[in-house]
Amino acid sequence: MKTMRRVTILCIFIARLTVTPLLCEQPKPLASSPAAAIEVDMIQAGEISLPAEFQVAVYENLVQELQRQGGFSQVYRDGDRNAANASGLVVLHTTVIGFKQGSELKRDVTTVGGATSITIHCQFTDKEGKVLLERDITGKVRLIGDNLKATDDFAKGAATVAQETLSSNSSLSNPKKSGYKNVI
Amino acid sequence: MKLSRIILWPLVIVLGTLTSLCPAQQPPPAPASIEAVQVIGLAGVKQNTKGSLKVENGSLTFASSKKTCEVPAASIQDVVTGADSQRVIGGTVGTLSRLAPYGGGTALSLLRSKVDIITIQYRDPDGGLHGAIFTMPLGKAESIKQALLAQGAHASIPSQAKSNSDSALQSEAMEQTN
């Protein structure tokens, strides 16, 4: 009886030792080390035809938003020669995977229809091309604003994701905070 | 001998007259500065800033009340024109007007004006890619594009005037071959 009790206590003790570290495990950051700089590549239209103004607006809003949020010490543009010497550089590649051009007039009149939405596949890689993070991010304008406002909405989402997961002052990966799910 | 001279002289005179009458092929005149809105893209210029846009001395110049910005035409990689419409009453007043009673806001939003859009992509001295979007009154974008192309800018889609003349030449060539 005594031996039985001892064995049971020992089993419980071993089980606790095994389970406790698993329960207390913190989510690991996706990037091996925080990035100090980011280079934004021009958006690729892919198979979807995207008007030139949307293409440029997505790119410019993304650069401005990354600069504004201040997660990275340097934000380089596509083709910037200075990026080659940057340490801890992350490259952001973007491809359009969904685009619906709505109508501002329809939004004004109906208040329910005419939404513009743009879904972009964002791939963050290191200098060598190793994928660090992939996410699909959507930008929308549902009621107030012109169609290009959807690109601003997208840029805010993408910059938040980049800052929270990859930047040098990110508070570790927290996908719940940004509301976007990891693709990989 | 005399007969050939008699034939030659009128021929020379007629040819000379015709040549002088033919208009010389000159590049399209650069448009004077036009009212435009810089939607996004120029360094140091706020979004949706009103100003004037002109092409001269090999560069595209946007001048607002606070700042003047120049983009060398040779650094422009692509120029694309488009069209859209916008609310006549925009900005904060336009947003507040939505709250007007008895559907007044909706009625105001129906008042729209058509605009031309010109989108450019250019490289800075470090090779960094920039993009800029301008809106302007209808029918002005194509002339700006032509002026930019004449001063060394590049375009993925040729300008409308050039493509029209090219297609006319092609159709003439087709007729000649047929």
CA distance A61 to chain B (A): 8
Confidence at residue B90, expressed as pLDDT on a 0 to 100 scale: 61
Tell me the pLDDT tens digit for each residue of B16-31. Answer: 554 554 444 454 555 6
Candidate from A51, A60, A79 with C-beta closest to B131: A60
**Interatomic CA distance for residues B49 and B41, integer angstroms:** 11
Residue B11: in which H helix or E strand, if any?
A: helix B2-21
Q: Mean pLDDT over residues A42-65, rounded?
A: 91
Q: What ipTM is given for this predicted complex?
A: 0.73
Query: Which residues on chain A are in Cβ contact (under 8 Å) with B123?
Result: 79
Confidence at residue A184, expressed as pLDDT on a 0 to 100 scale: 45
A85 or B26: which leads in pLDDT: A85
The tokens describing A138, both together, are 């959507």
Tell me the pLDDT tens digit for each residue of B72-127. Answer: 999 999 999 987 766 656 666 666 666 666 666 666 666 667 889 999 999 999 99
Using the Cβ of A49 and the Cβ atoms of chain B, whether some distance falls under 8 Å is answered with: no
CB-side exposure of A26: number of CA atoms within 13 Å? 7
Candidate from A81, A109, A144 with C-beta closest to B127: A81
Query: Which residues on chain B are in Cβ contact (under 8 Å) with A108?
Result: 87, 98, 105-106, 109-110
The pairing of strands A89-100 and B59-63 is unpaired
- Kindly give the residue spans of alpha helices, DSSP state H, lying in chain A: 2-23, 52-69, 104-110, 149-165, 175-178
CA distance B109 to chain A (A): 6
Confidence at residue B169, expressed as pLDDT on a 0 to 100 scale: 47
Confidence at residue A56, expressed as pLDDT on a 0 to 100 scale: 94
Tell me the pLDDT tens digit for each residue of B43-56. Answer: 889 999 999 999 98
Domain that residue A142 falls in: 27-178
Range of weakest confidence among A14-18, A48-52, A178-182, B129-133: A178-182
A168 or A119: which leads in pLDDT: A119
Percentage, residues of chain A above pLDDT 90? 40
Using the Cβ of A59 and the Cβ atoms of chain B, whether some distance falls under 8 Å is answered with: yes
Confidence at residue B68, expressed as pLDDT on a 0 to 100 scale: 93
Confidence at residue B53, expressed as pLDDT on a 0 to 100 scale: 94
Candidate from A59, A104, A109 with C-beta closest to B131: A59
Query: Which residues on chain B are in Cβ contact (under 8 Å) with A148?
Result: 39-40, 133
Domain count, chain A: 1
The pairing of strands A131-141 and B68-72 is unpaired
CATH of the domain at A31: 3.30.160.150
The answer to whether residue A5 sits within a structural domain is no
Contact between residue A146 and residue A104 where contact means Cβ atoms under 8 Å apart: yes
Candidate from A56, A64, A108 with C-beta closest to B133: A56
Query: Which residues on chain A are in Cβ contact (under 8 Å) with B82?
Result: 51-53
Using the Cβ of A80 and the Cβ atoms of chain B, whether some distance falls under 8 Å is answered with: yes
Residue from A167, A144, A134, A143 nearest A65 by CA? A167
Q: Mean pLDDT over residues B60-74, rounded?
A: 93
Q: Which residues contact A86 (CB under 8 A, 6 or more apart)?
A: A36, A37, A39, A74, A76
**Interatomic CA distance for residues A138 and A166, integer angstroms:** 19
CB-side exposure of A67: number of CA atoms within 13 Å? 11
Confidence at residue A24, expressed as pLDDT on a 0 to 100 scale: 47
The tokens describing B7, both together, are 């034939």
Q: Mean pLDDT over residues B62-81, rounded?
A: 93
Question: For the CA atoms of chain A, what is the radius of gyration?
Answer: 22
CA distance B16 to chain A (A): 48
Query: Which residues on chain B are in Cβ contact (under 8 Å) with A60?
Result: 40-41, 130-132
Do A56 and B87 count as a contact with CB atoms less than 8 A apart? no
Is the confidence at residue B164, as pLDDT, over 60?
no
Candidate from B86, B98, B131 with C-beta closest to A146: B86
Confidence at residue A131, expressed as pLDDT on a 0 to 100 scale: 93
Confidence at residue B75, expressed as pLDDT on a 0 to 100 scale: 95
Confidence at residue A108, expressed as pLDDT on a 0 to 100 scale: 72
Q: Where are the domains of chain B?
A: 28-86+115-154
Tell me the pLDDT tens digit for each residue of A86-100. Answer: 888 999 999 999 998
Tell me the pLDDT tens digit for each residue of A105-117. Answer: 777 777 778 888 9
Q: Which of B110, B116, B133, B157 to mutate to test the interface with A (most CBs of A within 10 A)?
A: B133
Identify the three-state secondary structure at position A42: coil
Is the confidence at residue B177, as pLDDT, over 50?
no
Q: Mean pLDDT over residues A1-29, rounded?
A: 60
Confidence at residue A48, expressed as pLDDT on a 0 to 100 scale: 86
Domain B28-86+115-154 belongs to what topology? PH-domain like (2.30.29)
